[in-house]
Amino acid sequence: QRLKAAVHYTVGCLCQDVAEGKDMQFSKQAIAAISEITFRQCENFAKDLEMFARHAKRSTVTTEDVKLLARRSNSLLKYITQKSEELTSSNMEQKEKKKKSSAAKKGRTSGEQEVAVTESGDSNMA
């Protein structure tokens, strides 16, 4: 119920923004109808995402599932792909920073750390 109210509030705010830009108004009934349709569509999206993950024998929804859901809207798919790539590169940068800071704390550079890992890997193979 709280989620439905939040969707209704957000739709109302968006309608108000659009109305101001276009010099028009939305009736309360129109806002309620848009809210209901939006909520139902979100429920359908959630069910589809769950099914995509289940079909792949996973219990977690991934970005690939979301891209599959958005496949019919080229602009939305492009946007989601772009944001996904931004998040991935941001996560990779954070991991690199963590590696460098932990290597510095141990008194090794990242190159020295790689050599140590390689050497220990080689000794395990013998």
Pick the more confident residue, 110 or 55: 55
- Residue 124's pLDDT band, with cuts at 50, 70 and 90, is very low
| Residue 33 contacts residue 16 (beta carbons within 8 Å) | no
Question: For residue 110, which amino acid is it?
Answer: S
| pLDDT computed for residue 108 by the predictor | 54
What's the pTM?
A: 0.66
Provide the token pair at 62: 């991934």
Please list, residue by residue across 56-74, b when 16 or more beta carbons sit within 10 angstroms of its beta carbon and e when fewer do. eeeeebeeebbeebbeeee
pLDDT tens, residue by residue, 40-77: 999 999 999 999 999 999 999 999 999 999 999 999 99
| pLDDT computed for residue 95 by the predictor | 85
Provide the token pair at 45: 């999206």
What contacts 24+ positions apart, CB below 8 Å, involve 24-31? none
Q: What is the chain written as a DSSP string?
A: -HHHHHHHHHHHHHHHHHHHHHT----HHHHHHHHHHHHHHHHHHHHHHHHHHHHTT-SS--HHHHHHHTTT-HHHHHHHHHHHHHHHHHHHHHHHHHHHHHHHHTT--HHHHHHHHHHHHHHHH-
- Residue 125's pLDDT band, with cuts at 50, 70 and 90, is very low
Q: Which CATH number fits domain 1-47: 3.30.200.20, 1.10.3720.10, 1.10.20.10, 3.20.20.70?
A: 1.10.20.10
